Structures are given as structure tokens and as C-alpha cells.
Amino acid sequence: MHSRISVCVLARFKILFFLGIFFYMPGLLAETFRVQAIQIKGTQRIAQDTVSAYLPLQPGDMLSDAKTPELLRALYKTGFFSDIRFERVGDILQVIVVERPTIAEVRLQGNDSLDDKTLRAALTASGLAEGKPFQRPLLAYVERDLEEQFFNQGKYAVQIRTQVTEAERNQVTISFDITEGDMTRIQGINIVGNKAFPEQALLDQMQLATGGWFAVFTKEDQYSRPKLDADLESLRSFYMDQGYLRFEIRSTQVNITPDKTGIFITINIDEGAVYTLHDIQLSGTYIGEIAPYFEAIKLRRGETFNRHLVVESTERLSRLLSDQGYALAQVNAVPEVDEEQHLVALTFDLEPGQRVSVRRVNIEGNSRTRDEVIRREFRQMESTWFSGEKLRLSRERAQRTGYFESIDITTPMVPGVSDQVDVNVRVTEKPSGALLAGVGFSQSEGIVLNASVAQDNFFGTGKKVAVALKTSKANQHYEVSYNNPYYTVDGVSRGFQLSYRATDFDKLDTADYKTSNGIAGISFGVPLSEFNRVNVGLRAHHIGLKVGASPSAEVKNWVTAEGRRYLNAEVDLNWQHDSRDSAWFPTQGALQRLGLELSIPGSRLKYYKLFYKYRHYWSLPRDWVFSVNGEIGYGDAYGDTSQLPIFENFYAGGPRSVRGFQSFALGPRDSQGDPIGGNMRLVGNAELYLPPVFSPTMRLLAFVDAGHVYDTKATDIRLDHLRYSAGVGMSWLSPIGALTLSVAKPINPTSLDKQKEEAFQFSIGTTF
């Protein structure tokens, strides 16, 4: 686009240049003379000194016919003037110019799918902007550039009308009246020449599609050349991963319907033959033993050639050298192809280069967070050998703190030194304070309000301070907590908690009793490795139980056996493994927790609760993410306590377990038919996260949930008692806070469960 504009301007300059030579020069010079002075005439906004600065002539210089074209060329090149004329008055050279109009204002109207900022950036890149000289020949090219912007949005029926209005002081106003028209959508994609794979299997490799019910979000039926180019590369990769080493795309045709509302794409391909990997060799220089290098190559002789595995093996070999300090190592996969036998011999050429060390780790972008909060997560130290693995681990650890939206790391060479690099870390901080509010509705509780004020990164120190409350007809919960993740320099954490919770279980549609629970606790966390941690806590409970107006037999029996007031001390011990690549929207890695809550001897009530939770994330092609979650919990009493306290029972149902059911809805019921919970819980979730559509901080998902609660003293554990639900949801770190939403449908509810269904569940908050 810009090259066409340059050619146009150059052609126009040449025309003006020759017109100046043939029409103005005869009246200018008859002979060479020495210029005693230069006079500039005709300027309005451009300073005369500016014109003189561009003119390659000074008083006292000789001027002849041969030099005049050079003067014209220099002034026309500025783009300031539409006409230039030279006249000689004695030994004075007069330069008479006509200034081009200046663009006073650029107006845009009618653009809906693209904002003004995007379009003005395109106009500026094409040379049309407020304050610049107006060149009418540019308009046609600028209109085409604007059309390209809308074409990329799938608006091929766009019409752009341009109006130039003269203003005072030799200025103009340019107005672009845009009619976007209807969206142009892909109506057909045909692949010609495929024999080994059905057309649908190939279409599944492409982003572009004819569109389905979800196209309104994915925009997969909106054509753009960059998308098509990416899809062609996906097809090429698919075939080469199946051994088709000589696969070719012969041609592509894109046809638009006459009304510009539909597009048909035809792709002609030549599959070629399947090639087999015949031999694998290493060449060049390797560091240390050779065995790890061959182990990094995930290819086997006799298998079908696979370009994806070749690329992966190359990256592993590069990382192997990088982890030993060879940051600039190069690994090239060199194939030797036998075209007759369709065999490939592959040689990986290793070039470690020079071993480098890290001079400095530079951190920028942290306006609130202190440097030490970031540096303590880094495993790549200054004045040590460079390690790619330590650098990746450092970034993941910093990302898992949850303080940053993004962390970008570059490793430029130190100027003038061949064996040192700097590690430049640029972070983009997230709001570390949060005022979270939730609103919900259920048949039992009605409106539920909850709020919390938290600082996860208190004054940039990495410490967490929080104050939370929740109030409804059934619950009042107040809590103050503090946690220092680096109580010691080795990463030992320490936290404190003060809380009070009052719960009316009858208003939760469960058994008819109330509890009040005051807690004071302290906890410590000890890192075992980069991904593993042990946490130990000690809590004191003061618990009161009040029987309702019409208690069930189970509640009466508990009060008769254990009383109404309890003072307990509890130990909380858990192990945690966290290898996720991010605390928010992880794409790979796992989170595991194995825990024990135990009332220590001397407590009024003696019981324990065991639980295990495992969640794993897998990154899929095209930014899809799949996740599975499994939870199991079990509790029981010991000593002289008759059973697990009824207020410590497990429950299931609701947004955190089985969506589509009310909280507490699943599991055993008391003698009056109300849920009372049980001493064992099973929960499982499978979630498929779609690629980001509207924003990187928003993920849409589809899910299947399963779960149930059991009383193992009364019934056997039967998996056919599990309740299932399925639905869709959304998680969004919005400008006003974290928003979660789900719409779910129970799959196998019983007649009693149907009274506890809750299809729509959400919570929303605000950040500051």
C-alpha cells in the first residue's frame, strides 16, 4: 500500500519537476551568476527559515541552469508546496512558492466495527493526519487502506465516501463517511486433491469455517487473508506430521458473491508420498555425555517422518545446551532425502557457541511491587551461568504469585562482551487490592450478599491482608487474616486468622439447628522443593450449638450425647504440589493437596477429616485447555466422641462442586427429609476452556460435574448414587472484578433433587 503511494508521489514530482524546467527556467536564467541574497515569497504558515534550510544554496554560491533542477527537487521533496517558481532580480534569487493546504481536521463517521483510534492510526501510517500537508492524490490510496481495515473484519461490502472542505488560512477538513454494510461470511470451503484424508478431517485443521451456532463468538466464518495463510500452514503441518514431506499447496482461489455477502474458498493440494525416517545422527559439538542428547530426540528409526516431533526434538536439544549456560546455542535438523525410496536420514547439528553468564537481572514495570518480591521468586541468579530451565522456572514462580498480568523476559548480550547477558524482566501489574461482592438467590436463602476487602500484595511487600464478611438469612461470617509468604528468606510462610461464623442450617433447607464458631489460628508453610510445600496450622475453636424449633431426631441425639458448647484445638496439616504455569487461567500443570484436620487430645470433641484434591490442566492446540478435577473427603470421630460432629459433615452441590444443584443439596437426609450431610464426599469435574474470544482475561467453558455425599455408617458407597450435571460457564477478570457465571442442567436428579435445582449461579466483584 505504502509503496503505491510513494510511486504516485514520485511520478507527480517528476511531472512538476519537468514543468518547472521547461516553463519557468526560460524566464529565470540566461547565464551563471553569483547569488548575493535569497528572498522567499508566498509562505503563509511555513517559516521562511524552514524553506531556506531545505534549499541547497547559500548567498555567495554560483547558480547556473544545471543546478536549478536540484533546487526544485529539494523543495518539492518536502511535500509542503504545490508550486515553486524561481526568478532573478539582479543578483537576488527570488523563490516564489504556493503552499499546499494543511489538514485541519479528519472526521470519521459511520464506523461501528472499528474504533476511531484504529482507523486514525491507519490514516497516519498512510500519510494523512491533522497538521500535515494535504496531497489530493493520496486520497484514493487512503480509501483503499481503510477498506483493507474493514476487509480484515469481514466487511467486504463497505463503502467509503470522502469529502474535502476548504477552511480558512489555506486549510482543509477531510470527512470520511463510512457505510460498513453486512458482514461477509464464508459460505463454502472446498479442498481439491486430497486422497489420504477425508475433506472434513482437513477442514478440522483450519480456523476458517462456514460457521455454526458458536461462530458469533469465534468469528470463524469471517474471512481474512492472514487467517487463510495460517490455515494453509496448518494444513501443511498436518500433512508433514503424517510423513508427507513433499506436500504442496498448488493454489488457492477466493471468490466473493456479487452482493459481497458470501465468500467461497477453493484450495488445491498435492499430497505427495509418505516418507519414513531411515536414520538419526548427531553432529557438531555436544557438552558432557552423549546419552542425554539422544534421549531428548523423540523420534525412532523406521517410523513415519513427523515434522512436529522434529521441531520438538530440536527445541529439547537447544534447551539441553541452554541449561548448561549456552544461551546462544543453535541446533539445526538437516534432512537427507532419498526420493526414490521415500526415506529420510536426519542429522541434528549442534552448535553450542560460547558459554555465557548473567551479568545483571533488571526489573521494570513494578510501580507498586518491590523488587525483592520478584527477585525472591527467581532461580536465575546474577553472576552465575545462564540456564534456560531456571529462567523458565523463575517466570512461572513469579506468575504464580498472582500479582502480575504478564511477565516478559529478554536476554540481550552485554554490549562489548561476548560471554555475558543481562536478564531484563518487564512486569505488568494487576490490581492487588480487591473489593469482592457476590449476589445470589436460592429458594431457601433468598438474596445472599457477601463482600471482602483484600490486599494480596500489601504495600508491594507480597504480604496478604484480608477482611471478609458474608451475610444472608442463613449465614453471618466475619474474618480478618494475614499471611506473609516469606516470613524467612528461605520461603517459610506465617499467617494469622481471626474469624466468627454463625450459621442457621434450617434456612439452608438442611437440618434445624444453628451454630456459632469463633476461631483463632496461626499457620506456617515450609517449601520442600520448587513445586512442593507443607503447611501446618493450629486453630482454637469455640463452638456453640442451638437447637431449632422443630429439630430432627439426628440433631436431638447429637445434643443428648455431646452437649451444646465445645472448646476445641485443631491441627491442620497438608501437603501441596503446584506446577501450574499461572495462578490465573493456567494452561498446563497440576495442583494437588493432601490434608488432615485433627482435633488434638484434650479437646471437647475428638474427630479428624482427611481430604485429597487433584486438578490437572492440559494445553490443547489453538489455545484450548482441558482440565479435570477430583476430590475425596472422609471424616470420623475417635476416643469418647460418638460420631463426626454434624456441623463438620461434608456437603455437595453448588458452584464449587456440582453446578446445577443448590449448595448442600446432595447426600443423606435426616428423619424430616432435610439434607444433613455425611462423613464422605466424592466430587469430579471435567472442563473444556475455549480460546480467549473477547479478552485475554475472559474464558468461556463447557463442563460436566459429578458428585455425592455418603454416610458410611449407614449405607455403602455406591458410584451409581453420584449426581451429574452439565452446562456452560464464564470466568472473567473484568475491570470491576472477578466474575464467574454458570448455567447448568442436572442429568440424573431424583424426585427429591428436583426441588433443589438451581440452574443459574454467579458472583461478581470489583477491584481497586
CATH no. for residue 552?
Answer: 2.40.160.50
In a domain, 192, yes or no: yes
C-alpha span between 231 and 205 (Å, rounded)? 7
Do 563 and 658 reside in the same domain of the chain?
Answer: yes
Do 707 and 753 reside in the same domain of the chain?
Answer: yes
Model confidence pLDDT, tens digit, residues 399-430: 888 788 889 999 999 999 989 999 999 998 87
Characterise 556 by phi-psi region: left (phi > 0), alpha (psi -120 to 50), beta (else).
Answer: alpha
In a domain, 442, yes or no: no
Do 194 and 296 reside in the same domain of the chain?
Answer: no
Q: Is 399 exposed, middle or buried (0-12, 13-18, 19+ CB in 10 A)?
A: buried
In a domain, 588, yes or no: yes
pLDDT at site 4: 40
Do 91 and 54 reside in the same domain of the chain?
Answer: yes
pLDDT at site 439: 53
Do 66 and 111 reside in the same domain of the chain?
Answer: no
Strand order from edge to edge, sheet including 102-109? 102-109, 171-179, 159-167
Which among 196, 212, 213, 208 has a CA at the least distance from the CA of 254?
208
Buried b (16+ CB within 10 A) or exposed e, 401-416: bebbeebebebeeeee
CATH no. for residue 419?
Answer: 3.10.20.310
CA 168, 170, 171, 175 dihedral sign is: positive
Do 379 and 526 reside in the same domain of the chain?
Answer: no
pLDDT at site 311: 94
Which among 659, 609, 661, 657 has a CA at the least distance from the CA of 637?
609
Instruction: Please give, one letter per residue, the 3-state secondary structure of 329-350.
Output: CEEEEEEEEECCCCEEEEEEEE
Distances (CA, A) of 469 to 201, 275, 438, 505, 507: 53, 65, 11, 18, 18
Is residue 677 within 8 A of residue 709, CB to CB? The reply is yes
* Final residue belonging to a domain, choices 270, 289, 307: 270
Do 633 and 756 reside in the same domain of the chain?
Answer: yes
Do 118 and 18 reside in the same domain of the chain?
Answer: no
In a domain, 471, yes or no: no
Q: Which regions of the chain are under pLDDT 70?
A: 1-31, 212-218, 431-452, 454, 734-738, 763-768
Do 607 and 572 reside in the same domain of the chain?
Answer: yes
Do 74 and 8 reside in the same domain of the chain?
Answer: yes
* Final residue belonging to a domain, choices 151, 179, 207: 179
Is residue 666 within 8 A of residue 723, CB to CB? The reply is yes
Do 28 and 75 reside in the same domain of the chain?
Answer: yes
Model confidence pLDDT, tens digit, residues 289-324: 889 999 999 899 999 999 999 999 999 999 999 989
* Final residue belonging to a domain, choices 301, 329, 351: 351
In a domain, 433, yes or no: no
What's the number of domains the chain is made of? 6
DSSP 62-86: EE-GGGHHHHHHHHHHTS-EEEEEE
Model confidence pLDDT, tens digit, residues 85-110: 888 888 888 888 887 888 888 888 88
In a domain, 54, yes or no: yes
pLDDT at site 215: 65
pLDDT at site 240: 95
pLDDT at site 715: 87
In a domain, 389, yes or no: yes
Strand order from edge to edge, sheet including 330-338? 276-284, 343-351, 330-338
User: The C-alpha cell of 737 is what?
Assistant: 472484578
pLDDT at site 369: 87
**Mean pLDDT value across the chain:** 86
In a domain, 451, yes or no: no
Do 731 and 745 reside in the same domain of the chain?
Answer: yes
For residue 228, the enclosing domain spans: 185-270
